[in-house]
Structure 1
Amino acid sequence: MNIRPGIAADNAVLVAIWEDAVRATHDFLSEDDIQFFRPLVRDDYLPAVEVLVAEDADGEPVGFIGLDGPKVEMLFVSTSQHGKGIGKALIEHVGRLKGPLAVDVNEQNPGGVAFYLKCGFKQVGRSELDGQGKPFPLLHLSQAS
């Protein structure tokens, strides 16, 4: 696996990875929610963050992380690659570059919560609404002590 900086030409495949992963892990999102967020991910969220892409041996993107400084704004891995250490490798890679990381994770995504806790994050807060004001509670996690 190779980790490289993302480029604008990656965005279509990254949105596809996002949608694939969200459909598998975010059971609390309706089809309308996914349709609402897809253009935001493509047009607003991806261009606003520093993106690093994980590629397989063939150079195909299989996951990505989006950062705002030391804050993880998005981390998604193709469902066919779940459990293979790609998300952990991305977290470890950016942790070496940025130091202790922070992340907000949907409380209703127990797999995501468990993943971040295994990566050394601890809960430091909670919000009832997500960043769009939708009723999807967020847990605020940090690696800092």
Structure 2
Amino acid sequence: MSKNAPTPTFRPIEESDLLALALLWHEAWRAGHLALAAPELVEARTPDRFLNRLKPFAGNGIVALGADGEPDGFVYWDGPELDQFHISERARGTGLASELMRRAEEAMAGVGITSAHLFCAEGNARAYRFYQKAGWRDQGVEGTKVSDGLGGWLPTACHRFTKELARR
């Protein structure tokens, strides 16, 4: 964390966080994907649809709260897949992402996950650089499908990153 940044509070995601996390996710997704995504995916990625997708996250994952109590980032994993990782605009460049990633990796390892993976949309340069800096290894681009938020799936190209997690 940078010296000037207030120390965030980290805790499990709670149901009461979901609306604020949906708004954060919407903003972060648009910052990283708007220029890359198919028009139908951009249209489908509304705050309400992010909120609907977040419902299973309550009780799982980690939220980082700023000094004002508002979420500055969150991470969610599903088994060995680090499924979602988002930082608010105001917290980018503060070191929060590195600390949140460290905590997520530690928590995953703490439940016995030793080999993790994540997907990064091809062309999302900022996220790509961050994952590399955090020690994740790019295994190449593969075609995958992402939720359209309506129960369907859209094809997309993603880098598949992997990382061996330290056993605790």
Q: Which bin holds the TM-score, normalised by the shorter protein?
A: 0.7 to 0.9
Q: TM-score, normalised by structure 1?
A: 0.86
Shift of 1:34: 3.2
* Aligned residue-pair number: 144
Runs of 4+ in 1 over 6 A off after TM superposition: none
% same residue? 24
Shift of 1:125: 4.2
Q: Which residue of 2 aligns with 1:29?
A: 37
Q: Relative to 1, partners in 2 of residues 1:20 and 1:31: Cα closer, same or farther, differing over 3 Å?
A: farther
- More deviation, 117-126/10-19: 117-126
| Bigger Cα Rg | 2
Q: Which of the residues 18, 24, 47 maps onto 1:17?
A: 24
Q: Which residue of 2 aligns with 1:3?
A: 10
Letter in 2 for 1:110: A
CA RMSD of aligned residues (A): 2.1
Q: Which residue of 2 aligns with 1:96?
A: 106
SS of the residue 1:108 aligns to: coil
Shift of 1:105: 0.9
- Structure 2 CA distance for aligned equivalents of residues 96 and 35 of structure 1: 35
- More deviation, 20-29/88-97: 20-29
Unmatched 5+ residue regions in structure 2?
1-7, 110-114, 148-152
Q: Which residue of 1 aligns with 2:61?
A: 51
Q: TM-score, normalised by structure 2?
A: 0.76
